[in-house]
Amino acid sequence: MFKKLFALSFLLSISLVGLAQTQKPLSKEDSLLKVYRKIADTGDAIELKKVDTEIARLLKSSEEKDFTFAVRVAYSIKQSSLADSINKLAVQKFPTGKAALMAAYNLVIQAPQEIKAKLDAYETFLKKFPEPAEKSDIVYDYARSEIASTYAKAGDAINNALWLSKIKTQSYKGIAQASNSQMFLQKGDFATAEKLAFEGLQNSKASLENNPNPNAKGDYYYYLQNYAGLLYKIKKYDEALKYINELRSNLEGNKVNQTNEIYALILTGTGKGKEALPMLAELVKTGKGSNEVAAAIKEAYIQTNGKSDGFEKYLSSLHTDMKKSIQAKLAKELISQPAPAFSLVDLEGNKVSLAELKGKVVILDFWATWCGPCKKSFPAMQKALDKYKADPNVRFLFIDTWERIPEPKKAVQSFITENKYTFSVLLDDKNTKVVDKFGIVGIPTKFIIDGKGNIRYKLIGFEGSDEAAVEEISYMIESVRL
């Protein structure tokens, strides 16, 4: 189900990063940014003018740190294009500084997803910014991780391992190993996937003692879940149970509940459906259960009752509760504010404007080809689109934005075609800047716009089952019809 949350997820959309985080006092800069975000949320023109004045003051500085803070200020008031412009100015003014280093690194990230292109970009990066012998910036590890990931995407376990071994920061090596394990899992290379996930867990654990990051223990807990989830995927249920139990024994209160989904799935795998069923049922009722939950609940029911008799009636009652839960939640999230006008070109070169859709309910979905949660939501969005495809008063528009490659149209078209989506895709870039007009700070972000051109719902992120997501979209559409 869609939820107001923006998070990275490797497996089951449950992120535990920072669970053990202790509350740190805010720095002076962080406190200011918090104030600026509130100003942006209220839209106070006078106060926003003061923020603009502060940005102008920072840009008169001869120190790069002030430009860096100006970038953060621009992002805090939801002006990503301004932030990009300030960053480019910093690159020009401080050619050997941090912004210039990151710009050179970004060329490695933006290089085509082909190993030769990545290696060439990496060598160019090193020539421009040779890596220090001591106290190397972690950005070099990020670049090496990008090479390793490119090999992982190609299914090349040998070269993937070689480049992972070049990563110097132990805690970050754990992150890269855990991430790459999922790529090999998707390719069906279970042995490599399991090995990497385990090594990532071990590196995360080993780095705890000397890791100054206050989130380090929470990160370790995340990798515990990642490894347990991977073991579940490859049907090593007993081993998975051992690691998920270790995780749950270190958590308290609601943090334990955040692991209920993977815990219940593993319990069902080990034949303990009677223990798992209440948790699975609660996930279904609240619309938070993933597609894995939908598949496992029948097995848990049979393990509990010894037979499948009565399951359909039982499941129907859970779905009824789910619909009520979704409706109650959305009723509290209804808003009404004018949608910014825009006109964009689709993949066929046709212009589409919001103004010409007056009288229709419009669903805008801002996404990018690199965005995992965006792509995870697409099967549900296709089902919702199919449900309303014969309705002339409902229009779905999928706005591709924030792409990290020079000419994204080909990659976008390829992705849509390969997955057989029937989406109407519009292309947003740094010239059109529609993403800025809507004040978006994270994707996926979806807007439901009524026939009068008013935004009635805004949703960020994705979690839960496709069924719950379709129910949620359907309710929003029906609730704002003229």
* Chain segment 23-41, per-residue pLDDT in tens: 445 578 888 888 888 888 8
150: left (phi over 0), alpha (psi -120 to 50) or beta: alpha
The CATH number of residue 361's host domain is: 3.40.30.10
DSSP 83-120: HHHHHHHHHHH-TTSHHHHHHHHHHHHHS-SSHHHHHH
Confirm if 144 and 167 have CB atoms less than 8 A apart.
yes
Is 175 a member of any domain?
no
Is 472 a member of any domain?
yes
Domains contained in the chain, number = 1
Q: Which residues of 407-427 are buried (b: 16+ CB within 10 A; e: fewer)?
A: ebbebbeebbeeeebebbbbb
Is 226 a member of any domain?
no
* Chain segment 132-164, per-residue pLDDT in tens: 988 878 999 999 999 999 999 999 999 999 999
Read off the tokens for 386.
Answer: 């199919």
Q: CA 33, CA 5: separation in Å to the nearest integer?
A: 20
Confirm if 472 and 1 have CB atoms less than 8 A apart.
yes
Q: Can you state the angle between helices 64-76 and 80-93, rounded to 10 degrees?
A: 170
Q: CA 18, CA 24: separation in Å to the nearest integer?
A: 12
**DSSP-derived 3-state class of residue 215:** coil
Q: Strands 394-400 and 425-427, how do they pair?
A: parallel
90: left (phi over 0), alpha (psi -120 to 50) or beta: alpha
Q: CA 352, CA 226: separation in Å to the nearest integer?
A: 42
pTM of the complete model: 0.75
Is 395 a member of any domain?
yes
Phi and psi for 100 in degrees, rounded to 5?
-65, -40
Is 63 a member of any domain?
no
* Structural domain harbouring 472: 337-479
DSSP 439: T
Q: CA 365, CA 466: separation in Å to the nearest integer?
A: 16
Is 353 a member of any domain?
yes
Each residue's pLDDT expressed in tens, for the chain with a length of 482 residues: 443 332 323 333 333 333 333 344 557 888 888 888 888 888 888 988 999 999 999 999 999 999 999 999 998 888 878 998 999 999 999 999 999 999 999 899 888 888 999 999 999 999 999 999 888 789 999 999 999 999 999 999 999 999 999 999 998 999 999 999 999 999 999 999 999 999 999 998 998 877 777 778 888 898 899 899 999 999 999 999 999 999 999 998 888 999 999 999 999 999 999 999 999 999 999 988 888 998 899 999 999 999 999 999 999 999 999 999 999 999 999 999 999 999 999 999 999 999 999 999 999 999 999 898 999 999 999 999 999 999 999 999 999 999 977 788 998 999 999 999 999 999 999 889 899 999 998 899 999 999 999 999 999 988 878 888 999 999 999 999 97
